[in-house]
Amino acid sequence: MTNKKTKLMKPYSLFLEQYMKRLGPIDEVEGYKVRPGFFDEFGATVIPGGVSFTVHSQHATSFKLALYKRRAEEPFVVLPFPDSYRVGNVYSMIVFGLDIEEIEYAYFVDGPYNPKKGHIFDDSNVLLDPYAKAVSGQSEWGEKPDYGMSYRARVVASDFDWKKSRAPLIPMEDLIIYELHVRGFTKDVSSGVEHPGTFSGLAEKIPYLKSLGVNAVELMPIFEFDEMSGMRHHDGQKLYDYWGYNPLSFFAPNTAYASNHEYNHEGTELKKLVKKMHDNGIEVILDVVFNHTTEGNEQGPSINLKGFDNSVYYMLTPDGHYFNFSGCGNTLNCNHPIVRRMIIDCLRHWVIEYRVDGFRFDLASILGRNEDGSPMNNPPLLQNLAFDPILANVKLIAEAWDAGGLYQVGSFPDWNRWSEWNGKYRDDVRAFLKGDAGLAHTVCDRIAGSVDIYSPRRRENSPSVNFITCHDGFTLNDLYSYNEKHNEANGWNNTDGDNHNMSWNCGIEGETDNKAVLELRHQMVRNAFTLLLMSRGTPMISQGDEFLRTQKGNNNAYCQDNDISWVDWTFLEANKEMMAFVKHLIKIRKKHPILRSQTKPSRSGYPHYSKHGVNPWYLSDLEAERVIGVMFSGRDDTGRFDDYSYIAFNSHWEDHRVELPVLPKGYHWQKHIDTAKQTKKAVVMEEHLTVLDATHLNVKARSVCVLFAHYHPEVDSE
């Protein structure tokens, strides 16, 4: 076998050698052999014997490539791009004789300076390659490099062997997404991992994720960001850009999340993580930020895009100021053809090089704005992403709003490809859970996949990503422990964060030893999890909610790199019954297709979805109605038997008697979940299931019951 391989490799090696001879140097610049490079390969591309450096700008007049020794303050050589190395607006140069393990690089870019027209070129700025695959000096979390403040790139060798690893390709409606922060998930000593706060540390927790039953992780931003950007002190604590929603480089992984330095192989540890996730049947979705960058407004630094072509990459007012639809100082000009290509190139890079399975787009409504900031009917970027062949199998999930007031939940341009974080699900279900009136019919629709805003006839995919909590806001435990946010630790006098939380402290604000209050809080959490996992659409769980993680009332922990944000794994042992309850709900969801999507019609002719109240087949329109029933019907996973589920939810503070829908002959209701019971008893185990001996159900105050119909013809004959 070895001899055959050698024989097969020889012709290719000879071809490559001859090819490189033909691509040998033809010029010399500052003592380095060079030739024109690969004009359609933006960034730095390794070739035998050299590196091709390719950049572009619509308005720049010259480029210089600065090469540095690793960790050096000043470049050891600056190479101007010869005029003949330009095609259109693209400059490309192969530099021979470079040792990629020893160099870092940046650019000096010159052009017009006219801020009112958006041109702010300054060839004294050290600029990071917008297509950089790795950023130097960012590997140590919480530390600035000792060789200066400028950001530089490293050349990355792409040689990871994926072997036969394949993506799970799980249908959207079958996903159970688990949102987590790579650092915070394992940074606390209680995580017990060997490499806390890293990609490797997360990989060590895959057995836990599998045991819980989730089959997709959504990673909060892992694009390179500078946690030290805007670092400040408050009350003895260092406050960082912990969440990472200020991207520094779109193509580079956050090297501080690697457990070891990966010089010129940055991303290898992340690739190993993705491969291991796939090998365990778990998909990887990245939370990506294309609405703004860390460069900020007029007072912000010039890091890359400002210096390469400010008027192209950012939305600017007629007098050259920055539109701020992101709330972060600037707004990326996403539908400019140049920016659109960069975003598509970026996503393709993450799919090809890292094999990720999907993307959740932060403030995605910005991706549908025109260059003047106005919303577009058919945004070309969103359409391009929907039909791009490389992205054909990846999930596209929009946070369908932005900070400029554009709210598109239910109306986001989709081409039957895009799904949405369903903010209406979160808000309506939260309000009804705590007992607000006037939401009965709306919440039924939310449980049914928000059929009022996502037409099942038009939308073939699963457009609604349902969630009650996420990184932004209260944890699920805190949602029922606090009436008000408590963000004092952020240093803004509790003025930051959302004031409209739809939370309820169950009678006492914050931590308490009151047993009655604690049990009520746990019941409210059980209610929330039950509705979430019994709802059609794609459920998303926030890290640690399944074992009652707390942030001590902080609903905006973006800067808290400490025990406020880190997952405390001691809560898992203390609240293992809640984790077991969630685990069982996930098993139920996986067992019953009718909970995930509309299946083949039942033989009985019952509708696939129906609303009920205290009486079957009728839900009143009264404002005070707080008792709802949602019934799903269809076929089971074999297609031979009918499957019926009934979710009874009483958000009232009094008990209610609910009459149940009569089932077809041979089918009988069995109660699987009753959240009014203590957590370890809220689940009726399979061996203890019995046929209900009555046509009604007593639903306790503030509780949820879940019933399934089982085929027992012998009961009818008794």
Q: Residues with catalytic annotation?
A: 362, 399
- Would you say 605 and 578 are in contact if contact means Cβ atoms under 8 Å apart? no
Q: Look at residues 69, 67, 35, 70 and name the one whose alpha carbon lies nearest to residue 52.
A: 35
Angle between the N-to-C axes of helices 337-354 and 380-387, in degrees from 0 to 180, rounded to the nearest 10? 30
Non-local CB neighbours of 505 within 8 Å, separated by 6+ positions: 480, 481, 482, 483
- Would you say 382 and 413 are in contact if contact means Cβ atoms under 8 Å apart? yes
Element (H, E) at 5: helix 2-22
| Amino acid identity at 334 | C
Instruction: Report the distance separating Cα 560 and Cα 648, nearest Å.
Output: 39
Q: Residue 470, Cα to own-chain centre: how many angstroms?
A: 10
Q: How many CA atoms lie within 13 A of 414 on its CB side?
A: 26
Element (H, E) at 283: strand 283-288
**What number of residues does the chain have?**
718
Distances (CA, A) of 181 to 197, 243, 246: 9, 8, 15
Instruction: Report the distance separating Cα 268 and Cα 250, nearest Å.
Output: 17
Instruction: Report the distance separating Cα 459 and Cα 419, nearest Å.
Output: 10
Instruction: Report the distance separating Cα 551 and Cα 556, nearest Å.
Output: 9
Q: What is the DSSP string of 623-688?
A: TT--EEEEEEEEE-TTSSSEEEEEEEEE-SSS-EEEEPPPPPTTEEEEEEEETTS-GGGSB--GGG
Instruction: Report the distance separating Cα 378 and Cα 364, nearest Å.
Output: 14
Q: Look at residues 229, 188, 226 and name the one whose alpha carbon lies nearest to residue 205.
A: 188
> Six-digit token pair at 481?
């422990």
Instruction: Report the distance separating Cα 400 and Cα 291, nearest Å.
Output: 12
| Amino acid identity at 312 | V
Element (H, E) at 114: strand 113-114
Distances (CA, A) of 385 to 343, 378, 380, 388: 9, 12, 9, 5
Strand partners, 140: none
Non-local CB neighbours of 357 within 8 Å, separated by 6+ positions: 167, 168, 169, 216, 283, 284, 285, 393, 394, 395
Q: Number of H helices and number of E strands within the chain?
A: 15, 30
Strand partners, 119: 114
Instruction: Report the distance separating Cα 75 and Cα 56, nearest Å.
Output: 21
Q: Is 98 left (phi over 0), alpha (psi -120 to 50) or beta?
A: beta
Instruction: Report the distance separating Cα 408 and Cα 564, nearest Å.
Output: 32
